[in-house]
Amino acid sequence: MEIVFDQYDLKEGHDKYAYMESMVTDSSVSHVLMFIDKRYSEKSQ
């Protein structure tokens, strides 16, 4: 099993939206785990 972790794999200056989209459109990705904090949760509503 390979783990892709944005903190290490998403480099500064890269398109974070393209990165996130690639995680949900890549057929080899079977699971996505998100860790969010209260601030992110409130901001997204």
pLDDT at 40: 85
The count of domains in the chain is 1
Domain annotation covers residue 33: yes
Spell out a b/e string for 9-24, using b for 16 or more CB atoms within 10 Å of the CB, else e.
eeeeeeeeeeeeeeee
Q: What is the pTM of this model?
A: 0.59
Domain annotation covers residue 1: no
Domain annotation covers residue 10: yes
pLDDT at 29: 87
Domain annotation covers residue 17: yes
Tens of pLDDT, residue by residue over 1-45, are: 788 888 899 999 999 999 989 888 989 888 888 888 999 888 877
Domain annotation covers residue 14: yes
Q: Residue 34: give the domain boundaries.
A: 6-43
